[in-house]
Chains A and B, each alone.
Chain A
Amino acid sequence: MFELLGQMWQFIQNPAPEPSFISETVIYLQLCIVSTLLAIVVALPLGILVAQRQISAFLLTNFTGLMRAVPTLVFFALAYPYLGLGFKPAVIALTVIGIPPILLNTIAGLRGIDAATVDAARGMGMTSLQVLWRIQIPLTLPVVAAGVRTAAVQIVATAPLAALIGGAGYGDYIIGGLGLINIPIVLAGVIPVALLALLFEVALAGVQRLLTPAGLRVSQPSAEEAPTQAAASSDQPLAA
């Protein structure tokens, strides 16, 4: 085992003819970060747009879910004639992977807000934009952050495949190493990927916590009172 790690370390120091470890790391991070950001940019507004529309939300979540279900390799193969090789198609494929968790969580987060809260906000005289900024976004953000965290970790874990279409990154080592049946080279790719996935997970869990408003973090003193929509007779107290 230590021998393997030692060989891996030697390889990392001089990976020629493969690209240098630093440059692969930079590319890998770029791939992951750009894809995650793109997934946010696409999924968040889409989620806000369709959250209150049952049918569009249903269609969209299923469509993006299906896109994800297409194995990434197949996706690369299908996209190749249109997008060619390199960084760009790799980013697009990874973005597709990142969209569903963010989209689903945006929709779930917005729908999870108590209708009474929004009703009160509107009744108070907030404009739709104010309701969005002051109420809906702060209440949804922690849920969206959880989606981003899932998306990012999945992207990090899938990104080695990008090397197949010339997207480079650690995938170069993994695929190259597998081709040569050279375990240390494979490890030089696999171990950084695992560490990076862990790092993203921990960092984004922190972000999620930061984005959770203090008021949502506090524990509840007592069970919530049940809604009292039941048609109770007039003289009966409606205690939960």
Chain B
Amino acid sequence: MIVETDGMTETLERTRVSGQSRAEVIREICRHLAPFQTGERPITGDTVIAKDLTIDSLAIMDMVMELEDHFDISIPMNVVAEIHTVDQLADTIQKLCARR
């Protein structure tokens, strides 16, 4: 985890992020969703965020804001509304990162 915020590290971080693999995107999403996991069932690409986890709609929007800043993209609210699964969220993030 890079914590320094001087210019150099920021640039490095950015490069790392745009070249990020799907696995890394999923890992970042899961890191945010972990606190909302129920029981023993692991969070996978098929996990339906609003249904299989104990996260409410406001917390989903707050998580999206964190992901936006991590990947330096913006995900409009109407796009968020169409996202149901972890895979779909990862697709959106990858698509927006590619367009950046």
Pair from one complex: no
